[in-house]
């Protein structure tokens, strides 16, 4: 009988701020980082991998939060964990003393999410399937059993979820074939970081179109004249038929957002992301009403299913960015995907970070096969950073994500990368800045 | 020129779970704990004190989060900090890398709140005033300058806040005299913990009335028959003219809350606290509409001013529990008090914990003198636990809080208590459970 041996954790940071990769109106100099966790078993070579994504300072706190969960996990029977991923998640989220630190938000919830994701990775590896397929192959009853419906039943009951999944079930195989043949649409944020020059942005935008992307995203929110100019230059670079989205990264108050977006009205934006505080459900609803028909979205910082529920109930968004490493793991993301499907809200997963593309592709693909049945009216973010550090990096072809085939959740990093970028003792952080490679 | 030398931090835990003090429907066995911070200066004997309250496990993570803030604080000029408490708070809350860990919620936001509160404590000590008076003596302009209005301007602008404070200013002295003469109303939760027997609850309820309390609060939410019986017994114990509030500690989904509260309708409850998830603004609004006129409240887990703003905008609550150690310190609580005053929502501060009574009394008293001008339609929670560990413990007389007179924010603990209850190495945690004193 195999056991979970321990959680090994690592504070891994990439010095991305040295080149302004990832810069936006609220995050001028992020160092993309991962509080990385290895759920080790007593079987040599068998482990699950997960991570919480941060942007630098505080990654040590995030790692410390994961460390506190070791006592909940070490010594558990492997089969009991992977056969009851719902119960496993509920025990972590439900620890009454740890719950006080959120509840279900911030550092502790992200830590719990990383450990839960490592357990799903482990379960998919044992099953020999990529995670998207492991989820898609679950029966409706098995999938519903993984979800904590607490605080959701005024919007979605277990019975409603079952009905939705049973409706989708007979055509799952057809969509699996379709996914394998076509991939899943991607959009790219690589041209649009705020720290890039106009020339670099236009060059990258043209390259993106040449590579097959049908949507690009620009960061906005620092200066309205700059934003108008960048939108105009981007439109000139990509032509009339490629969609342009913008992302304000929470820069505005509600009245500011409404004023600012009037200046961007002519660019037929695909969406405006994070116009204000991620907590401001009523604010998003007010902005959306005021600037209609400009589509409004949020989600990468939306901390749990209760907040997503309200975004949908309030009609606050046209689409959402789910994030694989912000909420309480796969279980909570399945709840959010079911809610989105019920309310008819499109999902454009967030992936600007390290490892987020690798993780979130599985959720979007499982959603297509088993839940919403849709992919062609949505897309997964793609940013071409740091994939080389992962053992099963994403594959992009012609502007689409190719469905991964290796078992697991694609979160495993090369141990060499982990050692090299460990903070503060890895060689990258001990070398002078001008010689280190980001 | 004095400097901030460093933040000294301590993981202090009281083994309250051994006697079921503090037990409720979601928190069956809390160990009341403090991630305690001393903002040391280079002047011997001059320091500011603050804490984040937790209920046990994870207090080490909370301490680690405060430790990361040392770099932001050590070496600062003392006068620059205490002369610009608004700028000090904004720099901590606005650190873009740390902000990712919330934003403005959970472990990192509580850590920032503890450090900000320590700075206010220090400022009040330097001024030789108790914090409530230090705030009340600020000019409207000085007070408004401490507040971050980001994400609030659709509900409250700096100009509106100034107008409110100028309206209250001419009568501040009168209310100061009134506060010193009358104290501030208290209510007590001591009888109502869920782990107590009916007999113990009734005895403590009678004692509370004899001591002058006009409101008591019971924990509910585990079993509806138990709740009905306990409400009946409590009413019998306190008589018809003492108010009874109940607290469900987030136990219910929205439909459950509505069904459950029908059973408690006859007890003329003063309020129903935390009926569901603290994140569920729309849920609270739905419950409030369905069970009207039963007053609904929440707030001790409401993580920042953006959430309070929406509770008020949505008409989701009749009253709120503010918490001195959950949000981003005094500055954010002043914003919340101004919002509550503007929307006409009564404030009943949360104080079930360690050090929370000591802290929150200052905020309620400052609100009475300088902001809302009201105290007789509201009350501060009082729980008679653990005050002996503080150097300036609260004083309760005839069911009212006596206004503190010692300089500062009353958060300083006896160093002897800190050493004795340090986790895991203090003597209380090394002794066998049956000999330790909680």
Q: Hey, is the C-beta of A277 within 8 angstroms of any chain B C-beta?
A: yes
- Tens digit of each residue's pLDDT (9 = 90 or more) over A225-242: 999 999 999 999 999 999
Average pLDDT over residues A143-156: 98
For residue A433, the model assigns a pLDDT of 59
Instruction: For residues B82 and B68, give the distance between their C-alpha atoms in angstroms, rounded to a whole number.
Output: 21
Minimal C-alpha gap between A210 and chain B (Å): 33
Q: What share of chain B is helix, strand, coil (3-state, %, to 5)?
A: 45, 15, 35
Same domain as A351, residue A232: yes
B164 within domain boundaries: no
B163 within domain boundaries: no
Residues in Cβ contact with A402 at an 8 Å cutoff, skipping those fewer than 6 apart: A183, A394, A395, A396
Instruction: For residues B67 and B37, give the distance between their C-alpha atoms in angstroms, rounded to a whole number.
Output: 9
Same domain as B101, residue B232: no
Q: Which residues 302-361 in chain A show a CB within 8 A of chain B? A: 303-304, 306-307, 309-310, 313-314
Among the partner-chain residues B54, B153, B256, the one whose CB lies closest to the CB of A101 is B54
For residue B1, the model assigns a pLDDT of 80
Same domain as A291, residue A257: yes
| Count of the separate structural domains present in chain B | 2
| Residue found under tokens 């959120």 | A102
Is the complex ipTM higher than 0.95?
yes
pLDDT band at A438 (very low <50, low <70, confident <90, very high): very low
Active site residue B219: yes
Same domain as A187, residue A63: no
Among the partner-chain residues A30, A152, A256, the one whose CB lies closest to the CB of B97 is A30
Q: Hey, is the C-beta of A56 within 8 angstroms of any chain B C-beta?
A: yes
Percentage of chain A exceeding pLDDT 90: 92
B166 within domain boundaries: no
With CB atoms and an 8 Å threshold, state whether B105 touches A279: yes
Same domain as B376, residue B298: yes
Mutate to test the interface with A, among B25, B90, B101 (most CBs of A within 10 A): B101
Same domain as B229, residue B123: no
For residue A320, the model assigns a pLDDT of 98
Instruction: For residues A89 and A96, give the distance between their C-alpha atoms in angstroms, rounded to a whole number.
Output: 13
CATH number, position B75: 3.30.390.10
- Tens digit of each residue's pLDDT (9 = 90 or more) over A46-94: 999 999 999 999 999 999 999 999 999 999 999 999 999 999 999 999 9
Same domain as B194, residue B76: no
For residue A3, the model assigns a pLDDT of 98
Minimal C-alpha gap between B279 and chain A (Å): 7
**Average pLDDT over chain A, rounded to an integer:** 96
Give, for all 438 residues of chain B, the pLDDT tens digit. Answer: 899 999 999 999 999 988 777 778 788 889 999 999 999 999 999 999 999 999 999 999 999 999 999 999 999 999 999 999 999 999 999 999 999 999 999 999 999 999 999 999 999 999 999 999 999 999 999 999 999 999 999 999 999 999 999 999 999 999 999 999 999 999 999 898 888 899 999 999 999 999 999 999 999 999 999 999 999 999 999 999 999 999 999 999 999 999 999 999 989 999 999 999 999 999 999 999 999 999 999 999 999 999 999 999 999 999 999 999 999 999 999 999 999 999 999 999 999 899 999 999 999 999 999 999 999 999 999 998 899 999 999 999 999 999 999 999 999 999 999 999 999 999 999 976 554 444
Point out the catalytic residue in the list B63, B217, B219, B385: B219
Active site residue A219: yes
Minimal C-alpha gap between A109 and chain B (Å): 9
Same domain as A423, residue A278: no
Q: How is residue A288 annotated by DSSP?
A: H
Instruction: For residues B52 and B411, give the distance between their C-alpha atoms in angstroms, rounded to a whole number.
Output: 10
For residue B299, the model assigns a pLDDT of 98
Same domain as B190, residue B309: yes
pLDDT band at A26 (very low <50, low <70, confident <90, very high): confident
CATH number, position A279: 3.20.20.120
Same domain as B190, residue B118: no
Q: Please, which residues bridge with residue A216 across strands?
A: A188, A244
Q: Hey, is the C-beta of B152 within 8 angstroms of any chain A C-beta?
A: yes
pLDDT band at A432 (very low <50, low <70, confident <90, very high): low
Residue A19 pLDDT exceeds 80:
no
Nearest to A215 by CA among A236, A193, A197, A241: A241
With CB atoms and an 8 Å threshold, state whether A103 touches B313: no
B151 within domain boundaries: no
For residue A328, the model assigns a pLDDT of 98
Nearest chain A residue to B254 by CA distance is A154
**Higher model confidence: residue A434 or residue A424?**
A424
Q: Which residues 102-121 in chain B show a CB within 8 A of chain A? A: 102-110
A61 within domain boundaries: yes
Same domain as B116, residue B11: yes
Encoding tokens for residue A247?
């992302």
pLDDT band at A190 (very low <50, low <70, confident <90, very high): confident
A166 within domain boundaries: no
For residue A128, the model assigns a pLDDT of 98
A152 within domain boundaries: no
Q: Hey, is the C-beta of A211 within 8 angstroms of any chain B C-beta?
A: no
Nearest chain A residue to B155 by CA distance is A254
**Higher model confidence: residue B294 or residue A194?**
B294
With CB atoms and an 8 Å threshold, state whether A65 touches B62: no
Same domain as A190, residue A116: no
With CB atoms and an 8 Å threshold, state whether A97 touches B154: no
Cβ-based contacts of A280 with chain B (< 8 Å): 151, 306, 309-310
- Domain of residue A17: give its range: 4-129+417-435
Centroid of chain to Cα B76 = 28
A144 within domain boundaries: no
For residue A84, the model assigns a pLDDT of 98
With CB atoms and an 8 Å threshold, state whether A151 touches B107: no
Distances (CA, A) of B287 to A103, A105, A315, B217, B277: 20, 23, 19, 20, 12
Mutate to test the interface with A, among B63, B104, B277 (most CBs of A within 10 A): B277
Average pLDDT over residues A276-281: 98
């Amino acid at each position: 009988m195999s056991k979970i041996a321990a959680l090994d954790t690592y504070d891994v940071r990439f010095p991305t701020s040295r080149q302004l990769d990832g810069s936006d109106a609220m995050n001028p100099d992020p160092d993309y980082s991962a509080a990385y966790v290895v759920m080790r078993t007593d079987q040599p070579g068998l482990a699950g991998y997960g991570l919480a994504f941060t942007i630098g300072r505080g990654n040590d706190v995030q790692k410390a939060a994961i460390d506190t969960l070791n006592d909940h996990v070490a010594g558990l029977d492997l089969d009991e964990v992977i056969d009851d991923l719902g119960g496993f998640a509920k025990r972590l989220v439900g620890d009454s003393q740890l719950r006080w630190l959120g509840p279900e938000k911030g550092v502790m919830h992200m830590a719990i999410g990383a450990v839960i994701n490592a357990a799903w990775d482990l379960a998919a590896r044992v099953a020999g399937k990529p995670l998207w397929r492991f989820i898609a192959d679950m029966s409706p009853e098995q999938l519903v059993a993984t979800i904590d419906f607490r605080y959701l039943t005024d919007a979605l009951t277990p019975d409603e979820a079952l009905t939705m999944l049973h409706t989708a079930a007979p055509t799952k195989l057809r969509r699996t074939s379709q996914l394998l043949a076509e991939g899943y649409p991607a959009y790219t944020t690589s041209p649009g970081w705020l720290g890039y020059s106009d020339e670099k942005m236009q060059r990258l935008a043209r390259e993106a179109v040449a590579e097959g992307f049908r949507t690009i995203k620009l960061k906005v929110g620092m200066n309205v004249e700059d934003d108008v100019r960048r939108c105009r230059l981007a439109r000139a670079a990509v032509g009339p038929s490629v969609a342009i989205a913008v992302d304000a990264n929470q820069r505005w108050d509600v009245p500011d957002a409404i004023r600012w977006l009037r200046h961007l009205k002519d660019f037929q934006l695909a969406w405006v992301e994070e116009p204000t505080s991620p907590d401001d459900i009523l604010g998003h609803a007010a902005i959306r009403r005021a600037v209609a028909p400009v589509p409004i979205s949020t989600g990468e910082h939306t901390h749990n299913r209760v907040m997503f529920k309200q975004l949908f109930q309030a009609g606050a968004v046209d689409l959402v960015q789910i994030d694989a490493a912000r909420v309480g793991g796969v279980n909570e993301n399945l709840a959010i995907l079911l809610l989105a499907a019920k309310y008819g809200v499109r999902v454009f997963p967030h992936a600007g970070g390290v490892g987020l593309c690798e993780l979130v592709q599985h959720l979007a693909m499982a959603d297509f096969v088993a839940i919403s049945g849709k992919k062609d009216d949505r897309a997964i973010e793609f940013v071409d950073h740091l994939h080389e550090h992962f053992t099963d990096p994403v594959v992009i072809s012609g502007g689409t994500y190719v469905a991964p085939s290796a078992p697991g959740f694609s979160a495993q990093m090369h141990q060499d990368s982990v050692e090299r970028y460990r903070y503060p003792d890895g060689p990258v952080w001990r070398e002078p800045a001008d010689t280190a490679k980001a």
